Amino acid sequence: MKIKILKDYNELSYTVADIVEEQIKREPISRFILPTGSTPHGLYKELVSRELDWGAVMTYNLDVYIMNPNHSQSYQTFMKENLFNKINIYPTNCQFPDRNVQSYEQRLKGIPADLCILGIGTNGHIAFNEPGSSFDSETRVVDLNEQTIEDNSRFFDSVDDVPKQAITMGLKTIMKSKKIVLIANGVHKYKILNVAMNGGITEKVPASILQKHNNVEVFYCD
């Protein structure tokens, strides 16, 4: 699978913003699956600056930590601060997984998302589908693995403050999206990205499932 190598983080951000903009302009009633993490920061900043009409857009976040949604490091707070509070989207159109996992799954089952944007963890996870997750998985509560807790501790005062559990969209659910864009930034991501896109398709590397999707674009910058 081809990994498109972009010049820098700016190019990564505006390339994906172009895809989002084109989708919203083509179909104002669009459904997006959105990521958190450090990689999409630039994308969200770029989207805010474009002043698009989000009035009929529905968004579904990939995952949340099991923690107070008002905490400064919750994914709900991240999305509000970086995107939702800065665009004209209806708060009720911004959905996050919650403990009622069946309900979240149903909302996504009826109509597939037009576009799903993903980051990738250094262990090959997408959303919080850790290595070993079933390719048939749906929205569920998961335990985070050691590597993920370690990687995400940079956002918290100490590694002990990182939540140990999350609610994540499943791999099967992600794969139902009409189009998927995977973004990765930094040399520390290149090895796993290459294994996931060009190695064997295995549940040991959750992102490798994307090789089975017929409309995926993968963007990387150093």
Would you tell me which residues interact with ligand GLP (CB under 6 A)?
35-39, 62-63, 119-121, 127-128, 148, 152
The residue type found at 157 is: D
Determine contact, residues 170/148, Cβ cutoff 8 Å.
no
Residue 51 or 146: which CB sits closer to ligand GLP?
146
- 114 in active site: no
Residue of 46, 61, 114, 123 with catalytic role: 123
Phi and psi angles of residue 140, each rounded to the nearest 5 degrees, phi first: -165, 170
- Which residue is nearest to ligand GLP, using beta carbons? 119
Neighbours of 195 (CB within 10 A): 16
Residue 62 or 205: which CB sits closer to ligand GLP?
62
Least distance CB 121 / ligand GLP (angstroms): 4
Least distance CB 118 / ligand GLP (angstroms): 6
Least distance CB 13 / ligand GLP (angstroms): 12
Residue of 46, 61, 114, 125 with catalytic role: 125
- CA-nearest of 127, 101, 121 to 188 is 121
User: Is 36 in a helix, a strand, or coil?
Assistant: coil
- C-alpha 17/C-alpha 11 separation (Å) is 10
- 125 in active site: yes
Neighbours of 123 (CB within 10 A): 18
Least distance CB 15 / ligand GLP (angstroms): 16
Active site residues: 63, 123, 125, 130
